[in-house]
Amino acid sequence: MITFAITTTTKLAGLALYENDKVLGKIHIEVAKSHSTTILEQIDCLLKWTGKKLTDIKNVVVSIGPGSFTGVRIAISVVKGIFFGRDDVTFYEVNELDALGYQAFFNICATCDNFFNKKIYALIDSRKEKVYFAAYKVFENKLELVEDYKVAKLDDVILEINNKKNEKEDKNKESKQDKEDRQENKNNEIYMIGDAIFNYKEKIKENLGQSVHLFEDKNLKIDVATFVQMMISGKLEDKKTDIFDLRPNYLEKSQAERDKK
């Protein structure tokens, strides 16, 4: 079973081709302007290098945003164009914030002995220190969305994290938890992931310091392999769709729509 995954949501375009759970090929390219000038060439190269054809692909996993308005549309348009009329293909849509949350989750589970109660903030840069973000928490070896998708200024996200940290510290001082509760609070750590963390790392470090954990630079931006990992592990069973229902999730109106008002 051949699976194709694609994202052009941010400046980093990602393409991957898998046979069951085996990676056949993967491309990540950060572009200066638009993905539209190179994405079809990248797909063609990926197929040639792996010796596969479009007709071999039976699963398609595509990011629906949020992120660059143009970027989000490119991936969806490409998928609709090259797979139109294929009744033998199963389509999965992925929210890129969810994918970042799972990328962090998979990393934490692979590196930590105790990964329960970790909180994960996924942030995508929307330029000028505005971000798309969501928060997740690990409960009994599964990831749950605990703060819904939002658009906000980076300063507001930092303030929210600081306020919740201070509230927790005050509560602990008042209640004097027993040893087990103190250990649970110790494990209740915050992780941050996404290209916004990469782009604004110094400001985040300056304002949050040791309050949060940042992944290595190579793991901060989305890896399109995460999409396939989510599909294989059953995280996308409720995200199956058809080619006609694939639609962008921008989280906000475009500048053109705002200007109309």
Rounded Cα distance, 227 and 16, in Å: 9
Burial-class residue 169 by CB neighbours within 10 Å (0-12, 13-18, 19+). exposed
Rounded Cα distance, 151 and 65, in Å: 12
pLDDT of the residue at 167: 64
pLDDT of the residue at 255: 55
Averaged over successive runs of 10 residues, the pLDDT of the chain (261 residues) comes to 96 96 96 85 97 98 96 96 96 98 92 81 96 92 92 96 71 49 56 96 93 92 97 96 95 64 57
Secondary structure class of 25 (helix, strand, coil): strand
pLDDT of the residue at 77: 96
H-type alpha helices, 125-254: 154-175, 179-187, 195-199, 201-208, 217-220, 225-232
pLDDT of the residue at 76: 97
pLDDT of the residue at 171: 55
pLDDT of the residue at 180: 46
First and final CA of the chain: distance in angstroms? 48
Cα 60 → chain centroid: 17
pLDDT of the residue at 114: 72
